[in-house]
Structure 1
Amino acid sequence: MISNPASKYIPFKAFERDFSERTWPGKKIEHPPIWMSTDLRDGNQSLIEPMSIERKLRFFKHLVKIGFKEIEVGFPSASQTDFDFVRLLIEENHIPDDVLIIVLTQSREDLINRTVEAAAGARQAMVHLYNACAPAFRKIVFNMNKDEVKNIATTGTALIKQAVSRHPETKWRYEYSPEVFSTTEPEFAVEVCNAVADVWQPSATDRIVFNLPATIEATTPNMYADQIEWFCNNVNNRDRVIVSVHPHNDRGTAVAAAELAVMAGADRIEGCLFGSGERTGNVCLVTLALNLYTQGIHPGLDFSDIDDVRRTAEYCNQLPVHPRHPYAGDLVFTAFSGSHQDAIKKGFAVQKADGVWEVPYLPIDPADLGRSYDAVIRVNSQSGKGGVSYLLENERGLNLPRRLQIEFSRAIQRVTDETGTEVNGNAVFDIFEKEYLKQTTPWKLLRHQITSKADGESGDQFSIRAELEVDGQVKTVEGSGEGAISAFINALNLPIRFMDYHEHAMGSGEKTSAVCYVELRLGESATGFGVGIHKDIVTASFIAVLSAVNRHLNQQEKEGAALREVA
């Protein structure tokens, strides 16, 4: 860092004059915006390894399940994978009638024709054109004047209008982005958008989308809101326009910028689940939606199973969600401080099921997101000398995944609550062993045999024949799958939903063993872990699966017995 940053950086100024016409600070958000997910386009292009078609399809289906009605599905002219994915969505009928797919293009005739070709045949589709309009881009990137930049936008619009007219079977809509709106002169952004609208000719019943991206978050959120309000007040035929925002997070204030932009008149927000995107990412739609929810406004999106949403995004993006991410992180409902724990527990004690939510330190009821109150527990040094996870790792070589740390600490909590004492390392392992490693009934693995297909052969690659002890009876099962674990799960013929898997070596030399941690669901039960330890890593994974299954079944039996006793 230099000693005088003012010699290198100057404060951004959107207006040459003071903007004194603002009314947005007195506004309130009273209903949700139109949500547009760009996970499959903007989010995907930022990934170290872009999504395969399989991952994109899984993500698309999950976005539909959450409730998104507008989904940007790709950049078909830039990637054969994107083109093929859009065609797959259409030709295999994956798009619900009420979902609008969006495809992005630059302003070149060949790219536009390729883009329209990709989306043709969908019940409804939106073509999204963009070109950068900011002074730095005009001067440095394109060496163009304002009229030349505006011509790119209007020429592209005319080409799109011509291209979509050849496919009347699809209801076409149109979106235009004056890219880098955040550092473009507001007057010029309005000029370009008005020129685009003159070509497209929107109506009050078939509105054009003008998306105003904070491509570079250059200043404080209030100034972005000023820009949005000025645009809304000065664009022609406002009733024929949907004003959209696409905030990036360069300054770390994208959520605030989006919320203030909606207060300033924006109708629609583009973003990604958990803020995926180039550089520091796009605005996080999960955070925005649940911020509304905590204010008593249903966002129109369903995050009732936030863990499932997070795991889907992590699998498809191959990127982790931070444990402190708002609402969704592993640790957001975990209190370490003793004073926090005490306040939260007292809040739970007096909270009425049908009452206004008023639990200290928790802005939202974890149960509304499919999380457990039991996640609000001690998992560090205050719940055992040196911490539960620290003791297991340093004394036993067990490196528990974070969610398993939280789950296991419930068992520790039960013991400390019952005895009123702390637990040492040996006691912690004894509890862990009882909770996971000795879960061998009603299902126990006796032996198994695996066969795999040669490279190039089609179908499932692994087959298994396993001998199990089930409720004291020996039973032989068979199954196949893409991997050894999936083949084993299929052989069990139980309603298992595989959620997560971790493994590591324990010990060294001849004493080395494999440790496997498996997270799964059995039927409609909550997720739960199983743990397996064995010299052979595959066997350890099978033991872990049965450990999780047995824990689920035994818990169901306990709950059933308790209900029968009450009855």
Structure 2
Amino acid sequence: MAAKQVFIFDTTLRDGEQVPGCKLNTPEKVELAVKLEELGVDIIEAGFPVSSPGDYHSVNQISRTIKNAVVCGLTRAVQKDIEVAAQALKYAKRPRIHTGIGTSDSHIKSKFNSNREDILQRAIQCVKWARNYTDDVEFYAEDAGRTDNEYLARVVEAVIKAGATTINIPDTTGYCLPHQYGEKIAFLRNNVSNIDKAIISCHCHNDLGLATANAIAGVLNGAQQIECTINGLGERAGNTSLEEVVMILNQHKHLGYYTQVNPKQLNPMSRMVSDVMRMPVQPNKAIVGANAFSHSSGIHQDGFLKDASTYEIIAPEEVGADSSKIVLTARSGRSALAFRLQKIGYSFTRNDVDALYESFLKMADSKKEVTEEDLHQLAAEYQPVLVEAV
């Protein structure tokens, strides 16, 4: 059976920019958009045009610049929002308007002081407004993760009939467990009569650390698009991490899915986003963290040095990372010490390394990591002793 494409919808420039301190100016947004297109994402959500003159200008400039990817602008279910987004996207070769409204009872009652029937009509109306400007309309059912499935199916069927071509099912609060989110997607696939006329999209937040797992569960149950950000940036605890979902689908080819993203650009893209948005990547972040390919435990180091695949399921060069690192700590063993000494030019025998090891452990216990400079110091102190012993 032929592999199915999963479309990658990148919202780093919209949801990712909502992280406090990560505000971007127009040149920065355009620069990142160009790199996202080179990375191979299918859709770039460029911003929320009605939110500010600066965001409008950024979306407009990105629309003029991007050649192949779809350029998307976010709106509320408000006619003015949609008109402004359409104007901002006027020069896009492939424009998309992303519009929608909250569908959970929590949003309907507390946020809108409304009822299900009124929200259903507003959902239909916003899609019709958007279709006046483009054939590519994505509808989001905000807080779909906590929306009753029967009602959600009614809304989805109605907005597809009104002209929506992509249906976004956001787990806005990151509440769902993977099996619950997967079942929600499956329910829509099985209970919306016109679902074949639209692409289902996963937009998952990371409040409980489940965004990536939920997005993959969505795909396994019939979703064809994942909305994500570089480094998992986003509102509160963040969004689904682009690099994680791409590499999960890459590694598990037996699932039968692929993306157009070039994995070798993942680490350079991560570093660029981190630098431009002034947001460090946590060292233990999957795929792109500084420690993603570092080994410090003696057991791990010994296995890795014998065969890298014992502890690395991804080679660093696959994702554009630097080479794997053997980090020397008090947990490191003799094989790691010998390896690092050899890397800096010392040819010690096994007995030599045994003689050095006790001193190495004393040094390692006194600091977080033994550096290259420390190794030169150890070697210099013990080489005379080693020579005399010979």
> TM-score, with normalisation over the residues of structure 1?
0.59
Counterparts of 1:289 and 1:99, CA distance in 2? 17
Residue deviations 1:322-347, cap 9 Å, x none? 11111111111111111110001111
2:222 pairs with 1:265: yes
The amino acid that maps onto 1:366 is: P
Q: Give the 3 Å change call, closer, same or farther, for CA 108–371 of structure 1 in structure 2.
A: closer
Counterparts of 2:148 and 2:204, CA distance in 1? 17
Count of residues paired in the alignment: 357
Q: 1:125: how far off?
A: 0.4
Residue 108 of structure 2: which of 125, 129, 138 is its match?
138
Check conservation: 2:101, 2:123, Cα contact below 8 A. yes
- Residue identity over aligned pairs, in percent, reads 25
Q: Give the 3 Å change call, closer, same or farther, for CA 181–298 of structure 1 in structure 2.
A: closer
The amino acid that maps onto 2:284 is: R
Counterparts of 2:320 and 2:180, CA distance in 1? 37
2:114 pairs with 1:157: no
Show the counterpart of 2:66: 95
Residue 198 of structure 2: which of 232, 235, 241 is its match?
241
Counterparts of 1:118 and 1:261, CA distance in 2? 31
2:244 pairs with 1:287: yes
Check conservation: 2:103, 2:142, Cα contact below 8 A. yes
Show the counterpart of 1:380: 329
Show the counterpart of 1:57: 30
Show the counterpart of 1:501: none
2:291 pairs with 1:299: no
Check conservation: 1:56, 1:316, Cα contact below 8 A. no
Show the counterpart of 2:367: none
Counterparts of 1:29 and 1:317, CA distance in 2? 39
Q: Which has the larger radius of gyration?
A: 1
Show the counterpart of 1:117: 87
Residue 321 of structure 2: which of 348, 351, 371 is its match?
371
The amino acid that maps onto 2:137 is: Y
Check conservation: 1:411, 1:431, Cα contact below 8 A. no
Check conservation: 1:29, 1:263, Cα contact below 8 A. no
Give the 3-state SS of the residue equivalent to 1:232 in structure 2: helix
**Structure 1, unpaired ranges of 5+:** 1-27, 165-170, 203-207, 349-358, 389-408, 433-567
Check conservation: 1:245, 1:258, Cα contact below 8 A. yes
Show the counterpart of 1:210: 167
The amino acid that maps onto 2:159 is: V
The amino acid that maps onto 1:320 is: P
Q: Give the 3 Å change call, closer, same or farther, for CA 29–254 of structure 1 in structure 2.
A: farther
Counterparts of 1:427 and 1:141, CA distance in 2? 58
Counterparts of 1:426 and 1:199, CA distance in 2? 63
Check conservation: 2:204, 2:227, Cα contact below 8 A. yes
**Counterparts of 1:60-459 in structure 2 under 5 Å?**
60-91=33-64, 94-96=65-67, 98-162=68-132, 164=133, 172-200=135-163, 208-296=165-253, 298-348=258-308, 359-373=309-323, 375-381=324-330, 414-415=343-344, 418-419=347-348, 420=353, 421=356, 428=373, 431=376
Counterparts of 1:266 and 1:431, CA distance in 2? 55
Give the 3-state SS of the residue equivalent to 1:250 in structure 2: coil
Q: 1:90: how far off?
A: 3.3
Check conservation: 1:255, 1:283, Cα contact below 8 A. yes
Check conservation: 2:161, 2:194, Cα contact below 8 A. no
Q: 1:44: how far off?
A: 0.9
Q: Give the 3 Å change call, closer, same or farther, for CA 417–172 of structure 1 in structure 2.
A: farther
Residue deviations 1:191-227, cap 9 Å, x none? 1222222322x6xxxxx10110011122311011111
Give the 3-state SS of the residue equivalent to 1:177 in structure 2: strand
Q: Give the 3 Å change call, closer, same or farther, for CA 298–243 of structure 1 in structure 2.
A: closer
Residue deviations 1:91-136, cap 9 Å, x none? 4xx211x311011111222222111111112222010111101111
Give the 3-state SS of the residue equivalent to 1:35 in structure 2: strand
Structure having the higher helix fraction is 2
RMSD: 2.8
Check conservation: 1:127, 1:172, Cα contact below 8 A. no
Show the counterpart of 2:380: none
Show the counterpart of 2:385: none
Check conservation: 1:225, 1:261, Cα contact below 8 A. yes
Q: Give the 3 Å change call, closer, same or farther, for CA 426–347 of structure 1 in structure 2.
A: closer
Give the 3-state SS of the residue equivalent to 2:97 in structure 1: strand
Q: 1:250: how far off?
A: 1.4
The amino acid that maps onto 1:54 is: P
Check conservation: 1:105, 1:128, Cα contact below 8 A. yes
Check conservation: 2:215, 2:240, Cα contact below 8 A. yes
Show the counterpart of 1:547: none
Counterparts of 1:410 and 1:51, CA distance in 2? 44
Q: 1:86: how far off?
A: 1.7
Q: 1:378: how far off?
A: 2.4
Counterparts of 2:371 and 2:263, CA distance in 1? 40
Show the counterpart of 1:33: 6
Counterparts of 2:340 and 2:184, CA distance in 1? 54
Check conservation: 1:70, 1:101, Cα contact below 8 A. yes
Give the 3-state SS of the residue equivalent to 1:110 in structure 2: helix
Counterparts of 2:196 and 2:290, CA distance in 1? 43
**Structure 2, unpaired ranges of 5+:** 364-369, 378-390
Check conservation: 1:377, 1:413, Cα contact below 8 A. no
Q: 1:413: how far off?
A: 5.4
Q: Return the structure number with greater relative CO, CA threshold 8 A, min gap 6.
A: 2
Check conservation: 1:47, 1:317, Cα contact below 8 A. no
Q: 1:410: how far off?
A: 8.6
